[in-house]
Structure 1
Amino acid sequence: MLRLRFTKPSTLRFWQLAFFWAILSVTAFTRIQADDDNLLQQVHQFLYEETQALGEEVVIDLRPPSPHLPECVQPEPFLANANQAPLGRVSVGVRCGEDGRQVRYLQAQIDVIGDYVVAARDIERGTLITSSMLSERGGNLGDLSAQALTAEEDIVGKIAQRPIRSGSVFLAHYLQAPHLVERGQRVTVIAQGSAFRVSREGEALEDGALGEQIRVRFGPREIMTARVAERGILVVDF
């Protein structure tokens, strides 16, 4: 006796539709995965370029973007905090689209193995820092404070604003550049441009370190802001 088994048209249509949607889902997932891979690759390359000069070895751990976000067209990565070295936990912004109006943020952990400077001995408050007071130490720069000064040139020539123990890392607020101009001091102000250079004397109204902008008085009603260039000398650029 021959027995045949038939599938009802409605059931067959259901499985055809299910198979069709499964293919679409796999295709969409593959496309999204490719978009995410491209975005991660560009952000990773950006971070590598930003950190390669910081140490001998760089390890970048980048978290993938949310799967619910749309594709990022023409991604342009940037550092959310451009004033700090990209070390430790870092937020990376990415501008998307031709006009860059869409912005999203990715989180990264950046570990850099390199050398940094520490105090070679105890340093008292008010001490002018010299190279003989420093020593080098190796380690993960990402473990240091965001305010840590790791290069000797950022430390030598500055004055300790608090006692610093031997072996301590130098933080930015521990140090201050020495004043090259004192409040009430008679100073020379040089005004210069592409085709001229004139100078006149005035009175500094505040203390100033190298590169700082301070106010200078020339007369009862004439006050100008100038940049400290060297001891007793200020400059105004036009």
Structure 2
Amino acid sequence: MAHKRIRSMASRLGASLAFAASLGLTAAVHAADRQDPGVIQAHAEQFLKKQTAGLPGKVTIQVAAPSAALPACSALDAFQPTGSRRMGKTTIGVRCLAPSRWTVYLAAQIRVIGSYVVTREPLPANHVLSAADLTLREGDLGSLPADVVTNADGLTGYRTVSGVAAGAPLRNALLRAPLAVQQGQTTRLVLNGPGFSIQSEGQALANAGRGDRVRVKTSSGEVVSGVAQDGQQVVVTF
């Protein structure tokens, strides 16, 4: 009788061990079918390191791991969605190309510690900048407006569009390029077209900074539009 009880207990124990083994095998197979979230995260970080290699300053990157379980992938491809910022809080996409297809979007933080230009004193609107007006400050460029100025070289002669507070980051949107062409002045016209380039003279009908479009009245009375260049010159391309 005792032998029968022992054999029964051994049989039940064997069945339990077999069931546990089958559960372990099922879990292992299930895990093998899922993509390691750390691999997705590392792939996104590596992509952002390449994208930010040319940025000024010291770059640090943090990417959140995906929260959802995804099928295993043998070909990952990272990308930045249209409109995503190069610095600060941004989004990075990772898609699977094979064997299945899926796309996941991860939150990322790109910090760039570098120098940017600030004003020494309050500046009024239409103020002509000089080197004495500006200084450099260090901080996280990703937390500043995307058009913050990081290099003070070449800003002399630019005008402020509006008033700027002391210590404020200088932005390109707050600046107007020095006048390259002045209204009413004799203007040299450079007329470029397929196989020809002709120089002439005219009269500028408005003030314009370098790179702005401006209309010029030619000596014959015709009005043409071109791009202002330094030295009271306008280039017209046909």
Fold shared, TM-score > 0.5 on shorter chain: yes
The corresponding residue for 1:26 is: 31
Gaps of 5+ in 2: none
Task: Mark the CA change 1:228 to 1:113 in structure 2 (over 3 Å): closer, same or farther.
Answer: same
Q: Alpha-carbon deviation of 1:134?
A: 0.9
| CA offsets 1:77-124 (integer angstroms, 9 cap, x no match) | 246337x6x2211223456649xx986543211112222211122222
Give secondary structure in 2 for the equivalent of 1:46: helix
2 CA distance for matches of 1:177 and 1:16?
Answer: 75
Task: Mark the CA change 1:234 to 1:104 in structure 2 (over 3 Å): closer, same or farther.
Answer: farther
- Aligned with residue 83 of structure 2, among 81, 84, 92: 81
Aligned residue pair count:
229
Task: Mark the CA change 1:153 to 1:64 in structure 2 (over 3 Å): closer, same or farther.
Answer: farther
My pick for the range that moved more, 130-139 or 174-183, is 174-183
When normalised by structure 1's length, the TM-score is 0.75
1 CA distance for matches of 2:171 and 2:17?
Answer: 72
Task: Mark the CA change 1:23 to 1:43 in structure 2 (over 3 Å): closer, same or farther.
Answer: closer
CA RMSD of superposed structures (Å): 3.6
Gaps of 5+ in 1: none
The corresponding residue for 2:236 is: 236
| Matched ranges for 1:108-187 at <5 A | 108-153=108-153, 155-183=155-183, 185-187=185-187
CA contact (8 A) 1:80 1:93 kept: no
CA contact (8 A) 1:80 1:92 kept: no
| CA offsets 1:35-75 (integer angstroms, 9 cap, x no match) | x4444334323322333443442211112235355548351
1 CA distance for matches of 2:103 and 2:33?
Answer: 23
When normalised by structure 2's length, the TM-score is 0.75
Task: Mark the CA change 1:12 to 1:40 in structure 2 (over 3 Å): closer, same or farther.
Answer: closer
CA contact (8 A) 1:80 1:91 kept: no
Bigger radius of gyration: 2
2 CA distance for matches of 1:170 and 1:187?
Answer: 32
Q: Does 1:61 align with 2:62?
A: yes
